[in-house]
């Protein structure tokens, strides 16, 4: 399945910081069978983030788009706001689960504002910019991503019958 990784980082977009978080997302997704067909580092600019999410969901029709960075509390952390402006349906459980899992490792996880949802046939997930948090958050939601994407793409199988198989 195809996926895209969008890193929101002022320093990273200028080449002043290596994108360790984006690389970690790539490693985890590829190990899980995803093919990364789009990857970009852009500054923490609302309109640029929105434009790229729309391009990748509407234009490239990527089933999965993962962002990293911009989910904290600084004035430049606007990825969740930009994402919210392009989502058609929010899936609050992703953010809730990621914050709850993160709290097992650090109390600072409660400060992450990442969200997830759908646009067209794409699942968009915000992850923090910290590589360790990327791993913890992505591994938390990874078990349901395939199912979520199948549902977004039109799978009508009864979810209750899937739970019985687990």
In this structure, what CATH number is given to the domain that contains residue 99? 3.40.980.10
Instruction: Provide the number of structural domains found in the chain.
Output: 1
**Number of Cα atoms under 13 Å in the Cβ half of residue 111:** 11
Predicted confidence at residue 36, as pLDDT, reads 98
Predicted confidence at residue 161, as pLDDT, reads 53
Cα–Cα dist 99/102, whole Å: 5
pLDDT per residue of the chain (166 residues) written in tens, 0 to 9? 999 999 999 999 999 999 999 999 999 999 999 999 999 999 999 999 999 999 999 999 999 999 999 999 999 999 999 999 999 999 999 999 999 999 999 999 999 999 999 999 999 999 999 999 999 999 999 999 999 999 999 987 766 555 454 4
In the numeric block, which tokens belong to residue 164? Answer: 């019985």
pTM of the entire predicted model:
0.94
Q: How many residues are listed for the chain in this entry? A: 166
What domain range is 24 assigned to?
2-165
Predicted confidence at residue 41, as pLDDT, reads 98
Q: Cα angle vertex 150, ends 8, 81, to 5°?
A: 25
Q: Which whole-number Å values give the CA distances from 165 to 24, 147, 159, 161, 162, in the listed order?
A: 31, 13, 10, 7, 5
Predicted confidence at residue 155, as pLDDT, reads 84
Cα–Cα dist 83/27, whole Å: 23
Cα–Cα dist 64/122, whole Å: 6
């Amino acid at each position: 399945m195809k996926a895209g990784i969008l890193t929101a980082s002022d320093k990273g977009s200028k080449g002043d910081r290596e994108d360790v978080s984006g690389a970690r997302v790539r490693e985890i997704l590829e190990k899980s069978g995803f093919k990364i067909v789009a990857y970009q580092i852009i500054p923490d600019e609302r309109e640029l983030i929105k434009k790229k999410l729309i391009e990748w969901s509407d234009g490239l029709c990527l089933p999965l788009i993962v962002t990293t960075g911009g989910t904290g509390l600084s004035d430049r952390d606007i990825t969740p706001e930009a994402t919210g402006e392009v989502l058609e349906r929010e899936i609050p459980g992703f953010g809730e689960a990621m914050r709850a899992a993160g709290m097992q490792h650090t109390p600072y996880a409660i400060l992450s504002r990442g969200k997830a949802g759908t646009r067209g046939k794409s699942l968009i997930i915000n992850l923090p910019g910290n590589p360790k948090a990327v791993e913890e958050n992505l591994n938390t939601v990874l078990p349901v991503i395939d199912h979520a994407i199948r549902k977004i793409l039109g799978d009508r199988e009864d979810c209750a019958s899937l739970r019985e198989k687990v």
